[in-house]
Amino acid sequence: MTTNSIEICGISKKFVLRHTRSLKEAFVWIMKGRKGDLSKKFYALNDITLDVAMGESVALLGLNGSGKSTLLKHISGVMLPDTGTVSTRGRVAGLIEVGAGFHPDLSGRDNVYLNGAILGMSKEQIDAAFDSIVAFSEIEEFIDTEVKFYSSGMYLRLAFSVAVHTDPDVFLIDEILAVGDEPFQKKCLAKIKELHAAGKTLIVVSHDLDVVAKVCDRGILMESGHAVMDAPVDEVIARLRS
């Protein structure tokens, strides 16, 4: 029997579509007793149901604004659905936004401890992994600099390094590898493949279809908040390229 790492059951998420209303529209709305809703809502995720088995590597693909990052945020738990449920098994870590979970006024060193703790590591575990985290990130010289002075690539290096050292069962990666330079991207890809080979579950959001084809086996195509295709990654990529 396969064990699922992630079970998503009928989740939907609505966001408010913001646009300026004219004074006249607002006046009419007030005069009519504030009936109805002046703001329009739209579904960023619309009734998504899917299971991901332990050890699968899944790419979330689709055009800009189709709901990929929103789905990833629901899997990570930073966003809650309006309806439906998301369950995950084991430690979930990853990179959703560069610098998320980092405090700008703290040094790289302090942020390793802060971020590691947020991702569920104890102080002893972080102490033991600290040198390896810094070595992987290759930013030794700047480890005592406040991270507000880091470049986006340096943020990525440290954040990625902390995340992979948490020994995650489910690793989430959103586009961000794009800000790393080529040697570091290669190093990250090798690490991601290593995690996959060790049986970890991967969910990757990327527009780089060549990278996705190398790393993922399964592809899910998102369109306007719907999952419209769930197939081997090569088939989904072929549809996107057609």
Q: What are the residues binding ligand ATP (CB under 6 A)? A: 15, 44, 62, 64-70, 222
Take residue 84 and report the two structure tokens written for it: 């439906």
Tell me whether residue 62 or residue 168 sits nearer to ligand ATP (CB atom): 62
CA dist 187 → 11, 56, 132, 157 (Å): 35, 21, 14, 10
Least Å distance, CB 167 to ligand ATP, is: 27
Question: Shortest distance, CB of residue 196 to ligand ATP, whole angstroms?
Answer: 22
Contacts of 175 (CB under 8 A, 6+ apart): 69, 205, 206, 207
Asked if residues 52 and 5 have their Cβ atoms less than 8 Å apart, the reply is yes
Name the minimum Å distance from CB 153 to ligand ATP. Answer: 19
The backbone torsions φ and ψ at residue 131, rounded to the nearest 5 degrees and listed phi first, read -65, -40
DSSP letter assigned to residue 240: H
Residue partners of 154: CB distance under 8 A and separation at least 6: 137, 139, 142, 147
Which residue, 14 or 89, is less far from ligand ATP as judged by CB?
14
Beta carbons of 113 and 107 less than 8 angstroms apart: no
Cβ distance to ligand ATP smaller for residue 91 or 226: 226
Nearest to 52 by CA among 8, 85, 83: 8
Closest separation in Å from C-beta 38 to ligand ATP: 16
| Cβ proximity to ligand ATP, 15 vs 29, nearer residue | 15
Nearer to ligand ATP, 15 or 130 (CB): 15
Tell me how far, at minimum, the Cβ of 137 lies from ligand ATP, in Å: 25
User: Least distance from C-beta 78 to ligand ATP, angstroms?
Assistant: 10
Q: Are 220 and 236 in contact (CB under 8 A)?
A: yes
